[in-house]
A and B are shown apart, each in its own frame.
Chain A
């Protein structure tokens, strides 16, 4: 009995010991000292990037109205305004990274609200004045010169731009112009300069290289010093260079792609630097975990373009919409009039751009390009995809002539067509884009953009009704007469204004404007615009 009991007990002990050892094996092992160093690189081992600055771009109430009118919102009139005390007061600030170039004076940035600073002519297509061409020959007679845009500054004298250096030093900057090719804004410091930076651009980039994307961000945990203010610091997102796209003519880097799991759209506009603190470029797109970087060479060229003209520089404008052949299906070719054999041959070659739409009165229209044409080459260089095509046009520049090699439906031989490019800041404007509001045509012709006010809002501004001027061309007769943004036009030649479609100005003669400015009534006489304009 005793032996049996002992045997049972022994069995139990052995079982429990087995269980215990198993349970012990499941316990986490004590931490051991790592054999290799932590992969995290100390922040002190990375060099700072003094060329990265913070830009504060401020917009007042009237500029904000202009942005609203150009937004996706459909605007017929302003029905209510919470505080109309002073529309010239600042209501919004955009804070974004900027790149100080080596001279310590020039700043390059991707300002999202740059549009608020321009006149309408910079966005509108400016087709040649010639009539619709019947043959290709009239192209030579048309005036397709490089446009020098009249507005180098903002609509209220200058843009409200503050540059904050890495040491917290604040400097005022003026807006020089927008580079249409890259979308970058070029600024110059008004007084003073940043520390002179020498050789801050990376000489070369390599796949797998570490990259830091620097963007200003709110320092959220610090209590704001006064109401409405905030603290800002330059935040860092870490990534690695995933791939490098060379330019089609192999003269340099066209784009650098960076991968990081932490990327957001807020990284667009950020400055990318390597571990040595040298500039890799500016982020111009983010898609998922991948950011596209505009390399420093292209940034330098953008700055040179704008600084040499001291004004905004448009991008080359052809006036076509299209799709790379490599992305197309047979049905899409058939829809454009292609026969099966020809289309199959093109699809096999996997190059070229199929044109799907031609903007009226555009260089493409004047060169008699048609939907269905496939652009195979530009100046005898093969076009592989849309990026290549953009690059080649950008290289050619606005107002230049290029020779396209075209494949056309129903034709067996490729054709060569010479096209004189024009320039445009925003090509999408040429394809029937309309603002979310209906600007008064007669006032637009006078260089004014206006928005209708409901009586309640007009009363807040001291008027009975009327149109609020949100933009005025500084070179226009209206500006010459003394009209200003923020004025409310109550009547023209005694005819009251209630909607943007209502004003009628007598053609060829002066008009008498009854306006309200700071709740004071004024009468101004505006001469008719010069015929040459």
Chain B
């Protein structure tokens, strides 16, 4: 697969909005290129996560407070400049020169840094990119793949600012099945002991549509309503019980 095509496709994926469809060329490319498909999935997941945070509305007096703050800052800065310009004209000239030189140095440094490839992206390329189950593998995975793409297209958030360096990998060991607010959490970073794979097969499981909701009388006239979840994962018992198969300190 040509690297330049991948770069172009990935750029398109970067610029794609939440509800925007991929171009036909890109879609075709995604079915053939594991790396770009992996990139696309990670991008989509990140956008979904950012998109799920929702918008924060400004307080009602925000505009007034902003304007007054700007006015106060301007008022406090003006006398300082005047005083400065009156008493230290020569120094001002020198300062301007220094700033110009300094600015030039900084710009040069920035240009140099940007010309080097991103480190994380490099490491992501160095490690073999994870592959995703492709349609030809099995009928189940075909359905999953198609559904996956459809849902991604529908759910990709628009207008999100994404740092490309953080999207090389995203956490997959997500255990909570309930909605959670991630806004106050640090962005997850993959460490040496963890990695992300998206090559695991995904399969559908039919779960009950009917959840059990029952009110129980406890014998003291109290009523308690219990709603049983339709699905649980792992060793979590559906209802807590006072017994266990191997209690500590009992033989």
Residues of chain A at the chain B interface (Cβ within 8 Å)? 5, 8-10, 12-13, 16-17, 20, 24, 27, 30-34, 37-45, 54, 56, 58-59, 61, 64-65, 67-68, 70-83, 89-97, 110, 112-113, 115, 123, 164, 166-168, 178, 180-183, 215-240, 260-262, 264-270, 315-323, 386, 389-390, 393, 425-429, 431, 433, 438, 454
Contacts and interface: CB of A to CB of B under 8 A. Distances in A.
Contact of B105 (A24, A32, A71): A24
13 contacts: A40-B123, A41-B127, A56-B205, A67-B238, A73-B218, A74-B219, A168-B201, A228-B208, A266-B235, A270-B234, A316-B251, A425-B245, A428-B242
Contacts of B90: 5, 8-9
Contacts of B26: none
Given A31-B119, A426-B245, A74 B98 contact: no
A30 B131 CA distance: 31
Given A34-B119, A75-B217, A78-B216, A427 B126 contact: no
Between B94, B173, B214, B234, the greatest number of chain A beta carbons within 10 A of the residue's beta carbon is seen for B234
A77 B235 contact: no
Contacts of A72: 239-242
B193 A82 contact: no
Contacts of B236: 94, 112, 265-266
B210 A20 contact: no
Closest 8 CB pairs of A and B: A228-B209, A223-B151, A80-B215, A268-B235, A183-B245, A39-B192, A76-B219, A43-B197
B130 A43 contact: yes
Given A67-B239, A74-B218, A78-B216, A38 B123 contact: yes
B202 A223 contact: no
Contact of B243 (A61, A268, A320, A426): A426
Given A38-B127, A67-B238, A223-B147, A43 B218 contact: no
Interface of A is mostly: mixed
Interface in B111-129: 112-113, 116, 118-119, 122-123, 126-128
B228 to A, nearest CB: 6
B233 interface: yes
A230 B205 CA distance: 6
Given A8-B91, A228-B206, A232-B205, A34 B238 contact: no
A239 B216 contact: no
A42 B199 CA distance: 11
Contacts of A94: 231-233, 236, 238
Contacts of A74: 216, 218-220
Given A77-B217, A95-B232, A219-B202, 4 more contacts: A67-B241, A72-B239, A78-B217, A225-B143
A92 B190 contact: no
B250 A40 contact: no
A168 B243 contact: no
Given A24-B109, A41-B195, A428-B247, A229 B207 contact: yes
B204 A230 contact: yes
B218 to A, nearest CB: 4
A429 B233 CA distance: 26
Contacts of A44: 128, 130-131, 199
A167 B122 CA distance: 32
B53 to A, nearest CB: 15
Most buried by A among B95, B215, B243: B243
Contacts of B97: 13
A9 B235 contact: no
A312 B129 CA distance: 46
Contacts of B199: 43-44
A183 B213 CA distance: 29
B203 A168 contact: yes
Interface size class of B (residues with CB under 8 A): 35 or more
Interface string B174-186: 1101000000000
A426 B128 contact: no
Nearest to A218: B177
A192 B50 CA distance: 45
Contacts of B138: 167-168
A266 B233 contact: yes
Given A40-B190, A322-B249, A217 B233 contact: yes
A92 B194 contact: no
B251 A390 contact: yes
**Which of B44, B128, B154 has the most chain A CB within a 10 Å cutoff?**
B128
Contact of A217 (B118, B174, B197): B174
Interface centre among B109, B138, B147, B237 (most CB of A within 10 A): B237
A12 B94 contact: yes
Interface in B126-173: 126-128, 130-131, 138, 140-141, 143-144, 147-148, 150-152, 154-155, 172-173
A45 B239 CA distance: 40
Contacts of B248: 386
Contact of A265 (B113, B141, B234): B234
A363 to B, nearest CB: 10
A316 B251 CA distance: 8
A16 to B, nearest CB: 4
Given A82-B214, A240-B193, A262-B173, A233 B201 contact: yes
A389 B251 contact: yes
Contacts of A68: 214, 216, 226, 228, 239
Contact of A232 (B123, B202, B210): B202
Nearest to B91: A12
A91 B212 contact: yes
Nearest to A260: B193
Contacts of A230: 204-205, 207, 231
Interface string B42-54: 0011001000000
A228 B207 contact: yes
B102 A236 contact: no
A425 B250 CA distance: 12
B239 A168 contact: no
Contacts of B195: 40-43, 238
Nearest to A90: B208
A454 B218 CA distance: 12
Contacts of A78: 214-217
B208 A231 contact: no
B237 A222 contact: no
